[in-house]
Amino acid sequence: MTMFVSDWQWGYDGWIVVITALVAMTCAIPGSFLLVRRQSMLGDAVSHAVLPGIAIGFLVSGTRDGGWMLAGAIVAGLATAMLTQVLRRVGGVDRGAALGVVFTTLFALGLVLIVQAGDSVDLDPSCVLYGQVELAPLDVVVVRGIEVPRAVPWLLGVLAVTFLSVQVLWKELLVASFDPATAAAQGGRPNLMQQVLMVLVAAGCVVAFEAVGSILVVSLLVAPAAAARLVTNRLRPMMFIAMSIGVVAAVGGHLSALTVPGWLALETTDVSTSGSTAVFATLLVILAVLASPQQGLLFGTFRRLALRFRIAEEDLLGVLYRREVESRGLGQPTGVHLSELGGGGPGLAFRGMMRLAAIRLRWAGYVTPFRLIPHPDQIKLTEAGRVRATVLIRRHRLWELYLAGAAAIPLDHLHATAMDLEHLAQPDLLASLEAEAAKSVHDPQGREIPRG
């Protein structure tokens, strides 16, 4: 941390973070739409294929200023999408193959144009690939008496245009992204919306190329949107989350470039901020894969364990209820020893899960130690546990009634099937089952269905 504080310069490092963050937000907006359209690699293709447009725009204008390079990049981006569609429709080429042929050809053409132009062109192929965001704060222009990096006004302008375009065309882009057939049937123009996305991607690429390079542009088009998709299922929040993740990647990437070489005791400290940002964005995707509340592996594992634990509790309550009914009126103890359990349901297949379920039920007040035989594994239902068990058994026997009638399942298969289904607790499904109770007060085996 001491090294970080001593190396950080707000007038230099601050601008690096600002430039990278602006690129990330600019790329995250169209990147979110490309992701839900399953066309993220089309953004990759456009980010490479705009290179000949940039080179031709520079050759025509002789300067990096002005709109010639932007116009050339937009034309090249649209050409990529159109040529890909032509190869698919006319030549019957697979989408992936057509995309690969088009963007590699255009990218190679762009490199040839840059190399052949020689000294007359102030563009470097390695700069195009890897970027030189560390040098961007040194190339300044004066805006209202303030020196700012040349890339910042262009990035702010493209970000504003991209954001406003998406807001104005939100409904059209939304329908065209999720259901292009419906959009066309309603008089929309999904192909036009596709071209709009290509224009936005191309515009973002051209203003970001010199600063951060094509590799980071590809990463920022895909990674923040992919991480945001794991966090939410709604497109508008996804877009804003992707923009936020892009900003975090920009900050974390530059800090990593400054500090990680020192932590690892590397001989060189010349670490690319663009490369570090791409790696940091990938780490954020991995973090989302692991810890996303909706689709993350950790939360998914926790939910599955919680479900298995609930099933074990309900199966144990069902066993205790049935044992109590069997022994009622015979003067026998109604408790159950855990070692006697077996085949009581899928939740009781593992003895460790069974004991945890018994502990949880005792803590919640649903079972109590069976005092007639002083042993810690002897348990029986409390009044609260009996109420909950009654609801479960009612659901089980309603399932048997439904399966015997609607599905015509043989009687000897009803119990096992109902054991799996009795744990479903969706309100609509339960309401449908309750409608079955009007048909009979007994299950197919002649047992009374407990009242709810």
- Please give the pLDDT value at position 59: 74
| Residue/partner pairs of 309-313 with CB below 8 Å, 24 or more apart | 309/347, 309/353, 309/356, 309/357, 309/360, 310/347, 310/423, 311/345, 311/346, 311/347, 311/423, 312/345, 312/347, 312/348, 312/353, 312/354, 312/356, 312/357, 313/347, 313/357, 313/360, 313/361, 313/366
The separation between CA 22 and the C-alpha centre of its own chain, rounded to angstroms, equals 22
Which pTM value belongs to this model? Answer: 0.75
Q: Are 61 and 69 in contact (CB under 8 A)?
A: yes
* pLDDT per position as a tens digit, 272-298: 788 888 899 999 999 999 988 878 888
**CA–CA dist 432, 374 (Å, integer):** 44
pLDDT tens-digit map of 341-399: 655 555 555 566 777 888 888 888 888 875 544 555 678 888 898 888 888 888 888 88
Token representation of residue 291: 């810890």
pLDDT in tens, 236-263: 999 999 999 999 999 998 888 888 777 7
Distance CA 393, CA 345 (A): 13
Q: What would the two tokens of residue 261 be? A: 């070489």
Residues 305, 38: Cα–Cα separation, whole Å: 32
Cβ proximity of 103 and 68 under 8 Å: no
For residue 297, the surrounding DSSP H or E stretch is helix 297-327
Give Cβ neighbours of residue 435 (< 8 Å, ≥ 6 apart).
none
Residue 201 Ramachandran class (φ > 0 left, ψ -120 to 50 alpha, else beta):
alpha
Task: Give residue-wise pLDDT tens across range 91-113.
Answer: 777 777 777 788 788 878 877 87
Q: What is the band of 5 on the pLDDT scale with cuts at 50, 70, 90?
A: very low
Tell me whether strands 367-369 and 378-381 are parallel, antiparallel or unpaired. Answer: antiparallel
Domains of the chain, earliest start first: 2-218 (no CATH), 300-436 (1.10.10.10)
Beta-carbon contacts of 372 under 8 Å, excluding residues fewer than 6 positions away, are 333, 335, 378
Residues 407 and 396: their CA atoms lie apart, in Å, by: 15
